[in-house]
Amino acid sequence: MTELKWTDTQMRRFKELGIVPEDVPSEAVTPELRNQFFQQIEKKKIKAEKQKLDTFLSNGGRVGLEKLSETLTRELVRQGFVRVTTPLILSKSALARMTIDESHPLFRQIYWISEKKCLRPMLAPNLYSLMIDFSRVRKGVTRFFEIGPCFRKESDGARHNSEFTMLNLVEMGLPMADREDRIQELATLVAESAGLTDYEFETESSEVYGSTLDIVAGPEKIEVASGAMGPHPLDAAWGFTDTWVGIGFGMERLLMTANKSSTIGRWGKSLSFLDGISLKI
Ligand code: ATP
Ligand code: MG
């Protein structure tokens, strides 16, 4: 006899409790046995989650996303980077300067809050603006980064949150010949500080965008970051002429892959999970 699958309701409950169904094969051949088995798993998990939540609430502290943010801030500041905080509200014209207009795929993912204002889908437009201001006052290498919320309408829930946290770092004014080594060095620093062990680089050279670098992690090769370097075709719209390297990391993707998890939901901002612990218990 073949083993009976979990029902849709049982699958939903597993998700709510942060259980991966593949980790708990039903093993039962009758509905009664399967339902009994389900109840045992649910009860055990609720007990464990209650205990974890109690310990977490008793000890004070920070959630994983905040801890990661602190660790990466410390490491980057140690390397001479300055942490900046820029507005969440972005103008339509700043988006257009990134060539994100009606014809761009990302345009359909934008949350508009008024006719000409939206919630930022990325940090790059604000960081470009700072690059120009910084280049007016100093020559040589300038390093800065932002860690903050970004918003995109997404349909794939396993790897995307509509509200997520991006870390975007920029190093500008470095020698042209150093850019490729440096971008890998910085990507490695962030990946290792975040606790990633199984990751690799995918470099591509595009005629339009020059050399790009993605970091993918785990056996499923989940994209955790995307990097680029300048001079870049977008620079002209901002009036920027110096060299730069930049990488944008998804903080929740870093947490999820460092914890060998296949879904992002538990790692982001949520009312269903706190620090990966289910609240629906
Ligand atoms: P994907 O193809 O996975 O949607 P993307 O190409 O849209 O990624 P980028 O625009 O390059 O992503 O953004 C840089 C990084 O931000 C990504 O490598 C990823 O780690 C993270 N990221 C992008 N969109 C999301 C999202 N909706 N939820 C969580 N992280 C995201
Ligand atoms: Mg995307």
Count CA atoms closer than 13 A to 270's CA, side-chain side. Answer: 22
Q: Are strands 142-151 and 82-84 parallel, antiparallel or unpaired?
A: parallel
For residue 13, how far is its CA from the centre of ligand 2 (angstroms)? 28
Statement: residue 123 has pLDDT above 90: yes
Q: Taking phi first (over 0 means left), then psi (-120 to 50 degrees means alpha), and beta for anything else, what does residue 37 get?
A: alpha
CB of residue 120 inside a 6 A radius of ligand 1: no
* Domain 64-266: which CATH number of 3.30.930.10, 3.40.50.2030, 2.40.50.220, 3.30.420.40: 3.30.930.10
Domain ranges of the chain: 8-60, 64-266
Q: Phi/psi at 86 (nearest 5 deg)?
A: -120, 165
For residue 232, how far is its CA from the centre of ligand 1 (angstroms)? 20
Q: What pLDDT shows up at residue 226?
A: 94
Nearest to 80 by CA among 192, 186, 175: 186
Predicted model pTM: 0.92
Count CA atoms closer than 13 A to 212's CA, side-chain side. Answer: 11
- In what order do the strands lie in the sheet containing 199-206? 82-84, 142-151, 163-172, 244-250, 222-230, 210-217, 199-206
Q: What pLDDT shows up at residue 207?
A: 65
Ligand 1 test: best mutation among 160, 201, 202, most atoms within 8 Å of CB? Answer: 160
CB of residue 160 inside a 6 A radius of ligand 1: yes
Structure tokens at 228: 């680029």
Averaged pLDDT of the chain:
93
Q: What pLDDT shows up at residue 136?
A: 93
Length of the chain: 281
Residues 6+ apart with CB under 8 A from 69: 147, 165, 167, 251
For residue 252, how far is its CA from the centre of ligand 1 (angstroms)? 10
Question: Mind listing the pLDDT tens digit for each residue in 58-100?
Answer: 998 899 999 999 999 999 999 999 999 999 999 999 999 999 9
Question: Mind listing the pLDDT tens digit for each residue in 238-249?
Answer: 999 999 999 999
